């Protein structure tokens, strides 16, 4: 059956990097029998400029009816005077909420060819390959009550609430255990169960779900220690699962162990394995329109899409191998080039991946 992909280039470098990913999808369709059809729509600053909204109803409807969404990036100083509700980034949050994307998968992989990009010692990070599974639609970012209130004394008080139901914890843990089964069958659940009751429940549910996955070795770690261990000895981890806020922080830290923001993809999934796939970096307004952005994070996001939402792991392997091959050939965009070496542009990098495939 032909699967539907919605392409949302966004703004900033989004359209440039997404164009390379679309070339790749076209090639897989034409030459390797991948059964997909694509449609393109506006989101973020591009949508705001067109109709005054970062997420038009028509875009959300198309996203809901697609099997997967590929997103470039959104945001930038051009739209920063706007109120928060109209900013490009609100388009992303609207897609996450509208599609119920509760599971965020963030790999942190250090390509051996880019070992010098990390700020950590080579022996600490060589071969690093971690997957962080972050809960994305609950926790303290969404809990009620929230806000800033003024007390009788006149002093103001800021409030946010950490809240998770058992079923919210259970479904994210299942995604994490399934991910661990596809990898090396080791899962570390990160919480703060010594201080926060909500994450005491998290730990209890993780253990309960783990009974359905006897092959997976489950461990637990407090988040402060996890932050320390990620920097001290990151290779001890394989798959990590954690709450929305802890995951936000730990996944950024893990990503930076690899030193290359232009290389890292991400997936956000809902209960039906419908997903939104995007590079972890932003719209890079400083280099937008120059044709120098690294398209590999977006290309690797397509690989994740093929693996997680389109049941086409053989095509995902094909892409990942092609990316390794171009890195072996020494091709580098500016963000991953060693100082003093020559960098190629966005389209040249995309073409090299096509060629390798």
User: Applying CB under 5 A, which residues contact Mg ion?
Assistant: 248, 252
Quote the least distance from Cβ 279 to ligand NAI, whole Å. 6
- Tell me if 283 contacts ligand NAI by CB under 6 A: yes
Per the annotation, the verdict on 351 as an active-site residue is no
* DSSP alpha helix (H) spans, the chain: 14-32, 45-51, 57-65, 88-99, 122-125, 166-182, 197-210, 223-232, 244-257, 296-308, 313-328, 346-356
Stretch that binds ligand NAI, among 31-39, 46-54, 133-141, 274-282 (CB under 6 A): 274-282
Would you say 216 and 185 are in contact if contact means Cβ atoms under 8 Å apart? yes
**Which entry of Mg ion, ligand NAI, none binds 356, CB below 5 to 8 A by partner kind?**
none
Phi, psi for residue 249 in degrees, rounded to 5:
-75, -50
Residue 52 marked ligand-binding: no
Would you say 291 and 16 are in contact if contact means Cβ atoms under 8 Å apart? yes
Per the annotation, the verdict on 192 as an active-site residue is yes
Q: What is the 3-state secondary structure (H, E, C) of 231-286?
A: HHCHHHCCEEEECHHHHHHHHHHHHHHCCCHHHCEEEEECCCCCEEEEECCCCCCC
Catalytic residue among 67, 191, 248, 335: 248
**Which entry of Mg ion, ligand NAI, none binds 248, CB below 5 to 8 A by partner kind?**
Mg ion
- Tell me if 18 contacts ligand NAI by CB under 6 A: no
Helix axes 197-210, 166-182, angle to 10 degrees: 50
| Between 52 and 289, CB nearer to ligand NAI | 289
| Between 199 and 333, CB nearer to ligand NAI | 333
| Per-residue tokens: 201 | 């429940």
Binding mask 64-83 for ligand NAI (x = CB under 6 A): ---------xxxx-------
Annotated binding site for NAD(+): 76-89, 282-294
Catalogue the active-site residues: 141, 192, 224, 248, 252
Residues of the shown chain interacting with ligand NAI in the complex, contacts defined by CB under 6 A: 13, 17, 73-76, 89, 92, 261-262, 278, 281-287, 293-294, 297, 333, 335
């Amino acid at each position: 059956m032909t699967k539907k992909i919605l392409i949302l280039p966004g703004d900033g470098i989004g359209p440039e990097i997404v164009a390379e990913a679309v070339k790749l999808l076209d090639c897989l369709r034409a030459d390797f029998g991948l059964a997909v059809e694509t449609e393109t729509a506006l989101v973020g600053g591009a949508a705001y400029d067109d109709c005054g909204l970062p997420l038009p109803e028509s875009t959300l409807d198309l996203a809901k009816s697609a099997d997967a969404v590929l997103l470039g990036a959104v945001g930038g100083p051009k739209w920063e005077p706007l109120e928060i509700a109209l900013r490009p980034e609100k388009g992303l949050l609207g897609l996450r909420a509208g599609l119920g994307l509760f599971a965020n998968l963030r790999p942190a992989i250090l390509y051996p060819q880019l070992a010098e990009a990390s700020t950590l010692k080579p022996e600490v990070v060589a071969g690093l390959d971690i997957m962080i599974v972050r809960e994305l639609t609950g926790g303290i970012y969404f809990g009620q009550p929230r806000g800033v209130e003024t007390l009788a004394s006149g002093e103001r008080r800021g409030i946010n609430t950490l809240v998770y139901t058992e079923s919210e914890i259970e479904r994210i843990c299942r995604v994490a255990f399934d991910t661990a089964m596809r990898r090396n069958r080791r899962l570390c659940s990160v919480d703060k169960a010594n201080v926060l009751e909500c994450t005491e429940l998290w730990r209890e549910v993780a253990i309960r779900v783990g009974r359905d996955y006897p092959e997976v070795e489950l461990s637990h770690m407090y988040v402060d220690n996890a932050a320390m261990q990620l920097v001290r000895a990151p290779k001890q981890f394989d798959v990590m699962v954690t709450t929305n806020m802890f995951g936000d922080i730990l996944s950024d830290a893990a990503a930076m162990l690899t030193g290359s923001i232009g290389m890292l993809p991400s997936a956000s999934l809902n209960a039906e394995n419908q997903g939104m796939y995007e590079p972890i970096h932003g719209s890079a307004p400083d280099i937008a329109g120059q044709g120098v952005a690294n398209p590999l994070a977006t290309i690797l996001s397509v690989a994740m899409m093929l693996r997680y939402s389109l049941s086409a792991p053989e095509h995902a392997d094909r892409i990942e191998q092609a990316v390794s091959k171009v890195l072996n050939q020494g091709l580098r965009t500016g963000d991953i080039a060693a100082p003093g070496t020559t960098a190629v542009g966005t389209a040249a990098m995309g073409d090299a991946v096509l060629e390798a495939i």
